[in-house]
Structure 1
Amino acid sequence: MNIIPAARWSALVVIVGSLLVVPAGPALSGPALSGPALSGTGLGSPGLDATAQACVAPVPSTTQPGYTVADPNCDLNGTPFQPLTDGSGKALSRTYAAIENGAAYRMEVPLNWNGELAIYAHGYRGTGTTVFVDNAPLRAHFISKGFAWAASSYQTNGYDVGQGVRDSHALIAQFARVTGTRAKAVYMTGMSMGGHVTGVAIEKYRGSYVGAMPSCGVLGDAELFDYFLDATVTAGALARVPVQFPLSPPPDFPATFAATVAAIQPVLGVNNGAPPALTAAGRQWSNAVERRSGGDRPGFEGAFAFWNTATNSGLPFLFGVYPGTNGGTIGVEDGNVTSNRTTWYELDNHWLPTWDEIKLNLTTLRVGRTAEPSPDLTGVPKIYGDPRIPVLSLHNIGDLFVPLSMEQIYLERAMARGQAKNVVSRAIRANGHCDFTAAELTRGFDDLVSWVRGGHKPAGDAILDPRTVAAPTFGCRFTVGVRPDFVAPACG
């Protein structure tokens, strides 16, 4: 997704010859994520609510100094974790919860268990030092279909995918030990950062899982943070406001960056906490973000307004996730994992570059990474797109936090490794992050299970075909329910 299309380069060479040189710029770096001030849009589950009362106070972690682990027998609001019941109050399952090796876990086994297990990997929970486990979103469906399920708090918070992979995989052996029976088949599921956990887990622990369903997942690993970089540096270039990306940000850099954003906003027509009133330059920025986030697609104008109305760290959302505010470390990496050195920014869908595109690419700050996605479970683990088992994923096409491009990158990698046969992607018409109806998720899981059991690949969306993605009906096939804030031509 980051490589400049050959046709664009050729046309550019014809137009400006040797004039275009990608600006070298210092080898700079990107941010530890801080959750957005937008309900339901964090990288997965919401963060710890300091006002919620757990049944028992969190206990010190035995593996992570300074961490505590919340009581797994209760939700943070005090609701006890108990078996599901039928209409008459009769239990439908057996539940298990405990703390082991610094992580809390929950498990639930239906009384009519089919012998199979679904593991759920939660998303980003900020950088607090209390970890907690919650229920899988498909809990009731799993139990109704005879599946047991298990989930871990992980031992750490932050963008620690490797720990999520290890602790989620450990659930398989824990489940056998706790219940006395080993599952005959294990499915891996996860949302947002949990999608990153899912994509890594099925490649790291081959043979452990029979199928996977990442939803709203960071399936492009560090390329998510490249996208965050793109959003801000293109805004600065179009507004003609210099943007900095220091490898080691000084203590006052957040204030410096806030001043930079304040200078950019009026030029683009972007406001704090209110829908944008885009200028001509702002519309160009919207075009650039659209193409970096998945391509021309229905509902994008409304999605762009939705995400620019949201705020993060007191800034319009897309500026609030800028990697340059903390040196590009993502909180778990020693160097900058972001780069746009070879990225070609587009403003329209024509193969021939316009003069506006040439100017944008000549003036955009270029950043080079000093750290790569890791081949193991350290730093930001790499997803190779080599699942070798069925993977069915879902993504909201208006999500500009973890955008549709993550799905496209994953499918491209799978195609390069001859694994496209094992990947199905489904587009869902919604603006929010991880905004799925129960019907969309249950259909996805049921279709995945049928695929694993019967070998028949289910239908999906052609997310790499620009004409399909740009069609007014894109996303209609697998969307169940209408989101009022998603504005696009109605599905037939």
Structure 2
Amino acid sequence: MKSILLFAFFGFTLNAFAQSSSQARVDTGTIAGARYRIDFPANWGQTGSPKRLLMYAHGYETIGNKRGNLSGGWMAPFLKKGFAVAQSAYRRQGWAVLEGVDDTEALRQHFVKKYGQPDSTFVTGHSMGGMITLATIEKFPQHYQGALPFCPISGHLYQSLQKHLFAVLVTFDGLFPNTLALEKLANGTATPTDGDVIKHKLEADSLTGQQFARRFSIKYKDLPGVLWFFQEIYRDISQQAGGNPFDNTNLLYSGFPDDALVNRQAPRLAAQPKSRTFLGPYTTFSGKISAPVLLVHTTYDELIPPEEATAYDAIARQAGNDKLFVMKFTDGQGHCKFTPGQTEAVFDQLRNWAKAGQRPVAGEVK
């Protein structure tokens, strides 16, 4: 179960697309403890050829898992367009939005120093990498012509995680007692309950499991994997923060067949005061953008609900930058489930927007 889930949640960004025949050479190395990889298409930088750069931010990598190999296979749609693709593995595994922003910028600076200033530079990423993409375009707008975040949390990070990830865990723990060890996960004395154990619990009361899945718009078959992965993230964030950063002591949960039962039985966990500030400077996006941002999400995402991904629209509007933000969707059935053709299509739209000022029409990516 675990190896399958690791591929599903992180491996997508490494191996999902076939190896590109456009790839000509690769530059690898380490910057301040963070491994990097730069893939170049054929003829990049030669006389008369454009020098285009795409900075890529990968998603969450489970702590203790073998470090990703930064495979070049998924880059085909970008290499095909003549872009060099640069990506950092970050200094740390796990929750690494802060490190991801800083290490991506360090790699961009390294690229410019070694290969010269590109003619154009864009930034993209999936999942947590999509958050890093948004934070990067807000913090370093002068370096980019546009941003293409895929399937990120784009609103208030603390509120989003508490509203969905934490709520999923505590309400499940209330309905299926003695399955998860949330308090021990937070203090580092337990490991996540394996997905197979969760699956057996659900099979013993499938009606309650199906009702629970509908409440959170998660497919029933996806629940074991989602709950295992959410435990991993909760444990990681809590241990980095020095304790549980979330608090549901004053919250009520609704939308279940028996809300009173859920609220009686869900564990009430208080946040450690020092832990609530852990999520740091990128807890809230500002909407202060000066280059086009095209965000793409799927209609079904078992990890990040559509409303969490599309929250940036209100943020950009409040900042007066709604004309620089467009959201598009696909009918993908899973977290970051985009095809190479869809990726290429939205990248073309972003580039055309940046170059010619033709703002894409919001809606479905065919």
Shorter-normalised TM range: 0.7 to 0.9
Contact persistence 1:233–1:365 (CA under 8 A) = yes
**Identity percentage of aligned residues:** 24
1:232 to 150, 155, 169: 169
1:122 to 55, 58, 63: 58
- 1:162 partnered with 2:98: yes
Matched residue, 2:285: 384
Matched residue, 2:130: 195
Q: How many residues align?
A: 353
Q: TM-score with structure 2 length normalisation?
A: 0.79
Unaligned runs of 5+ in 2: none
Contact persistence 1:43–1:192 (CA under 8 A) = no
State the shift of 1:263 in Å: 9.4
* Larger CA Rg, structure 1 vs 2: 1
- 1:287 partnered with 2:223: no
Alignment of 1:195-344 (within 5 A): 195-220=130-155, 221-223=157-159, 225-226=161-162, 227-238=164-175, 245-246=182-183, 253-254=190-191, 265=202, 268-269=205-206, 279=207, 281-290=208-217, 304-308=219-223, 316-323=224-231, 329-340=237-248
Partner-residue secondary structure (3-state), 1:329: helix
Contact persistence 1:228–1:321 (CA under 8 A) = no
Alignment of 1:380-459 (within 5 A): 381-388=282-289, 389-459=291-361
1:374 to 1:424, Cα distance in 2 relative to 1, 3 A: farther
Contact persistence 1:228–1:318 (CA under 8 A) = no
Partner-residue secondary structure (3-state), 1:106: strand
State the shift of 1:307 in Å: 0.6
Contact persistence 1:249–1:325 (CA under 8 A) = no
Give the letter for the 1:154 counterpart.
Y
Q: Deviations over 1:273-293 (max 9, x none)?
A: xxxxxx1x3343123212xxx
Contact persistence 1:229–1:323 (CA under 8 A) = no
1:136 to 1:457, Cα distance in 2 relative to 1, 3 A: farther
Task: Output the CA distance in 1 between the equivalents of 2:67 and 2:28.
Answer: 14
State the shift of 1:359 in Å: 5.0
Partner-residue secondary structure (3-state), 1:127: coil
Task: Output the CA distance in 1 between the equivalents of 2:173 and 2:67.
Answer: 37
State the shift of 1:120 in Å: 0.8
State the shift of 1:344 in Å: 5.1
Task: Output the CA distance in 1 between the equivalents of 2:28 and 2:134.
Answer: 26
Matched residue, 1:372: 276
Contact persistence 2:148–2:295 (CA under 8 A) = yes
RMSD over aligned Cα atoms: 3.9
Unaligned runs of 5+ in 1: 1-33, 48-74, 76-80, 86-91, 270-278, 291-302, 309-315, 349-354, 462-476, 480-492
Partner-residue secondary structure (3-state), 1:372: helix
Partner-residue secondary structure (3-state), 1:458: coil
Contact persistence 1:253–1:325 (CA under 8 A) = no
Task: Output the CA distance in 2 between the equivalents of 1:140 and 1:343.
Answer: 46
Task: Output the CA distance in 2 between the equivalents of 1:122 and 1:216.
Answer: 12
Give the letter for the 1:96 counterpart.
D
More helix by share: 2
Partner-residue secondary structure (3-state), 2:303: coil
Give the letter for the 2:167 counterpart.
D
State the shift of 1:405 in Å: 3.3
Q: Deviations over 1:408-445 (max 9, x none)?
A: 33334334433433322222223332221111111111
State the shift of 1:222 in Å: 3.9
State the shift of 1:398 in Å: 2.4
State the shift of 1:187 in Å: 0.8
State the shift of 1:252 in Å: 6.3
Contact persistence 1:236–1:264 (CA under 8 A) = no
- 1:184 partnered with 2:116: no
Task: Output the CA distance in 1 between the equivalents of 2:362 and 2:94.
Answer: 32
State the shift of 1:245 in Å: 3.8
Contact persistence 2:188–2:239 (CA under 8 A) = no
